[in-house]
Amino acid sequence: MTQDIFIKLLNMSYQGGIVICFALLARYILRIIRAPKKFAYYLWLIAFVRLICPFSFESVLSILPKEIEPIKQEIIYEQVPEIHTGSTVVNQVVNNVLPKADTVSSINPIQRIMGIMQVIWLVGIGIVFIYSFVSFIRLKKKLIGSISFNTLSSEQNGLDTIYLSDHIATPFVLGFLKPRIYLPSIINEKEISYILMHEQAHIKRKDHMIKLIVFVITVIHWFNPLVLIAYAILNQDMEMSCDEYVMKNYKEDIRKEYATSLLNLSVGRRLILGVPLAFGEGNVKGRIKNVARYKKPLISVVICTVIGVIILGIALLSNPLSTTTFNKIVEEVNSIDEDQIDSITIRMSDKEQTFPAAYGNEFIEFFKTLRVEKKEISKDRSENRDKDISITISYGTGYDKSYAFYITGEEIWFDNEVNSSFSYRIVNTKDVEDFIKRLLGSIEEALPVTEDNELPSQVEEFSEQEMNEVEVTIPTINLDGNLGADGAILDYADGNNIIFHDYFGLFVYDLNIQEFVRAVDLEAIGCNYTQGDNYCEVSVSADGTSVYLHPLSEKDMYVFYVPTGKLYKTTYDLTGITLFDELVDNDLAGSGNGVYSIQKVIFKTNDLTYYGYLYAGGEATIRDLAYVEDDMIFSLFESLEDESIVPEGISMSVQVYSLTKKGAVITLLNKADKDYQYGDQYYLQKYEDGRWYDVPYVIEDFGFNDIAYGLEKNKESEFIIDWNWLYGELKPGKYRIVKDIMDFRGTGDYDVYTLTAEFIIE
């Protein structure tokens, strides 16, 4: 609990620091236009309100960064602790020095550091308060024997008493609820008149209360140098504004006498204290200069300053508009049925690219979880809005349905053919740019729009020849079957996709979503031979969009266009076609440590060189085939195996009503015709950059109860999972829970099935 409060304080200090920086800049501008000092004083009050108030309101005028809380509460539980300031440079510098979780100890180093920081913070507060209390007691002793000095001025202003003392060097106001003015007995009668006016101005504005409150806030944030600077400058501007009040309202020009009094009654440099409110403090040299050059401000300057300070005050006191995921604010997005998707098309000016249905989940999940501001920026529902980027998701034949996302700059809107949504501001447009670039390689690589939107530029080389479309057959694979004599053959790799073939088919695998996006049964077209007279020669275009398959015994070849998944037959001729030529001999082939592809691809990044190749260990079956790139291994056919073993009628879901950052209610549903069992074990994964990653644990040396629960046929089971002890509070994002169930038939005779259920943390 105390750590949560301390982290909240650190975030408030961060927010206050940003406001202080803006206040410093605004103060400089006010000084240039010679605006009254009271406006600079008001700006500092805004900064200190921000430092102490844990709540705020939202406004489009807010100039604070989106990440107003860079230190998340769960940082003390994270394996790899991070801050999020909104600045990539700051994040990298700080995050690189934050200690990672100790793999031996169950206590996160950040917890220890936070504990030590809290102790230091409390000790610092204690020292300052003790010093201030001692100073206050000493001052009170000096005031013993002070003489009451009643004047007409004091009575008119509602003051009970003004005191004269022989033991003080400067006038000041002391007291919180009942302030009293103390004057040195050495000052003359004329000085008393304008000094009283100065001190009474303080009391009228409640400066004696404000200074004490601001002092307490400063002590709480003593570790923040910006707060210390703000406190010092606030005192200066507070005093200067009262000086200007006297210059403006005194019956004669007293600038020279007033400056002399300031110099004579100066208290010199003082340590930060909350009391008293002294006439001779606050950068006396600066105050004298300000008094000497004082002129009544122009009314136009005052009006502009008032408007500017009000607007800036709202901008600094308010938080940026809160954000949410796009599917929460435009619920129609949730109605897209992934199973009915036929294709997805991206259009950008005169560029276009079409993706197969296998990409449907990636597109849908990206736009569902895309963060936007809750408040719409336009209520225009017309279809005539600008469309820099359009992404259309089309259903298959017979459904006659499509959905579209339109993006212009920071705006996004959605159309489901029934009505269009309002326009909303995207929180981080770079997320969209990165998503598009990752899918297209780069925006420049997007294919030009053609009249029929089917034939790529590579296929157009054959436009003068007869092109016959051939039906594509999806291969049937025996995962326990052996690879060909030379192993699977790698045809293309670019870091995002790979293309390979063997006797059992031609395959296109997306490394980002870790799924096959295209597959062709080569036996159906007579291209399944990897040796002999009927050997099928396979080539790929340089950009990976077209695959050319040529049985050596024939004069024709097949052209498979990857983006649309269509297959064409034409006369064999590769003249004018730029082919992928990044393949080199693989020195690992034939090494005896498994089956390696004969060729590999070389990747070079700055000074780093690494390779990509196919490999099958174990018994070298199709099931064992993997793609290796640098230190990453992709089990290619693992996803096919997982999809085939989940029994029909068995499902797991997360109850949205119960979902929190710390846990949820899980439902297991059994509509099958047999009973199953499940245990306490589970793990969480997070979806990032198109892949699922295991969520790191916050503790070590843990275990689940070794117990089995029954899941009877045609029934469901609900139970609560509290993952806070294992993972801490989850950050916003897309997650899934992974859990096994068992078909237990007897000792040593059982099957295990893996279930998943996705959910989103706001």
694-711: pLDDT as tens digits = 888 888 778 888 888 899
d(CA 206, CA 199): 11
Residue 432 DSSP symbol: H
Q: How confident is the model at residue 20 (pLDDT cuts 50, 70, 90)?
A: very high
Q: Which residues are within 8 A (CB) of 257 and not within 5 positions of it... i.e. 6 or more apart?
A: 190, 191, 194
Position 549 pLDDT exceeds 60:
yes
Tokens of 90: 């700051």
Lowest pLDDT segment from 287-301, 449-463, 607-621: 449-463
Q: For 20-34, 423-437, 638-652, which range has the lowest pLDDT when averaged over its residues?
A: 638-652
Q: Which residue has the higher pLDDT, 97 or 504?
A: 504
When pLDDT is cut at 50, 70 and 90, the band that residue 60 belongs to is: confident
Taking 60 as the threshold, does the pLDDT of residue 574 lie above it? yes
Return the minimum-mean-pLDDT range out of 195-199, 452-456, 526-530.
Answer: 452-456
Strand bridging mode 468-470 / 371-373: unpaired
Least confident of 44-48, 121-125, 285-289, 599-603: 285-289
pLDDT at residue 173 in the model: 82
- Is pLDDT larger for residue 578 or for residue 66? 578
pLDDT of residue 560: 92
The structural domains of the chain, ordered by start, are 2-315 (no CATH), 323-448 (3.30.1490), 457-637 (no CATH), 646-761 (2.60.40)
DSSP letters for 458-519 = HHHTTTTS--EEE---PPP--TTSBP-TT--EEEEE-SSEEEEEETTEEEEEETTTTEEEEE
CA of residue 292 relative to chain centroid, distance: 52
Given a contact cutoff of 8 angstroms between Cβ atoms, the answer to whether 422 and 379 are in contact is yes
Q: What is the pLDDT of residues 613-653, one digit of tens each?
A: 999 987 888 988 999 998 888 888 875 654 444 566 788 88
Lowest mean pLDDT among 54-63, 132-141, 429-438, 462-471: 462-471
At 446, phi and psi to the nearest 5? -60, 140
pLDDT in tens, 322-381: 778 888 888 888 888 877 888 888 888 767 778 777 677 778 888 888 888 888 888 888
In this predicted structure, the answer to whether residue 460 has a pLDDT above a threshold of 70 is no
Q: What is the mean pLDDT of residues 660-671?
A: 90
Q: How confident is the model at residue 142 (pLDDT cuts 50, 70, 90)?
A: confident
pLDDT of residue 379: 83
- DSSP output for 435-465: HHHHHHSSGGGSEEP-SSS---HHHHTTTTS
Q: What is the mean pLDDT of residues 539-549?
A: 92
Evaluated on CA atoms 332, 334, 338, 340, the torsion sign reads negative
574 neighbors 556 (Cβ within 8 angstroms): no
Q: At what angle do helices 2-32 and 109-142 cross, to 10 degrees?
A: 60
What pLDDT score was predicted for residue 100?
A: 56
Biggest alpha carbon–alpha carbon distance for the chain: 120
Q: Is the pLDDT score of 712 beyond 70?
A: yes
Of 374 and 80, the one with more pLDDT: 374
Find the mean pLDDT for residues 661-668. 91
pLDDT at residue 127, as a whole number = 92
State the pLDDT at residue 583.
Answer: 93
pLDDT of residue 112: 77
pTM of the model: 0.51
Residue labelled with tokens 């004599």? 485
